[in-house]
């Protein structure tokens, strides 16, 4: 529960304080994102990706992550749920450049940080598709907003159990 509060507080800090400090419209801080754009962001990864998700159910996301990891991009995958992990996560865990871990807590949101330059917060990352998925999916590309999200993911990752 403490980790969830930390994550929520970080998101509030990143989005709330950045919006309060600038007079720019909210679209300057974040923009709606689709599955297609999410796959483009993953394909553009050059150095590292950090992903926290309740589970991976979308074959397109799993393939894109595996492709970038096989190309030499480090993937740090954090599965956060009480039930365990799926075949997609186990398959990714076997790929070189993937450090997969499990956090026995339930997180409803999925977040991806790519090269500390872009963050995606979207249920689409977990393969959850619904009418509201598009309205709940955002891409953040301003460094001052991406940094606290990345820092929180990195902190959570350090406390998680490594998949075997």
How far the first Cα of the chain sits from its last, in Å, is 25
For 68-118, the DSSP string reads HHHTT-EEEEEEE-SS---HHHHHHHTSTTEEEEEESS--S--EEEETTTE
Q: Which of 142, 121, 119, 109 is nearest to 48 (CA)?
A: 119
pTM, 2 dp: 0.78
Most confident of 74-78, 103-107, 141-145, 157-161: 74-78
Over residues 48-67, the pLDDT tens digits come to 999 988 888 889 999 999 99
Tokens, residue 25: 């419209």
Mean pLDDT of the chain: 80
Specify the CATH number of the domain 2-162: 3.30.870.10
Instruction: Give the total residue count for the chain.
Output: 164
Q: Which of 101, 123, 104 is nearest to 112 (CA)?
A: 123
């Amino acid at each position: 529960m403490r980790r969830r509060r930390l994550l929520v507080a970080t998101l509030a800090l990143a989005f709330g304080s950045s919006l309060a400090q600038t007079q720019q419209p909210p679209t300057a801080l974040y923009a709606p994102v689709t599955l297609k754009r999410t796959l483009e962001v993953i394909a553009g990864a050059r150095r590292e990706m950090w992903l926290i998700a309740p589970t991976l159910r979308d074959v397109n996301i799993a393939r894109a992550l595996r492709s970038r990891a096989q190309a030499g991009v480090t993937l740090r995958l954090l599965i956060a749920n009480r039930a365990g992990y799926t075949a997609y996560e186990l398959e990714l865990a076997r790929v070189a450049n993937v450090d997969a871990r499990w956090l026995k807590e339930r997180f409803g949101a999925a977040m991806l940080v790519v090269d500390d330059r872009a963050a995606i917060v979207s249920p689409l990352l977990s393969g959850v598709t619904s009418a509201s998925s598009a309205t709940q999916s955002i891409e953040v590309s301003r460094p001052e907003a991406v940094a606290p999200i990345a820092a929180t993911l990195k902190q959570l990752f350090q406390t998680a159990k490594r998949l075997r």
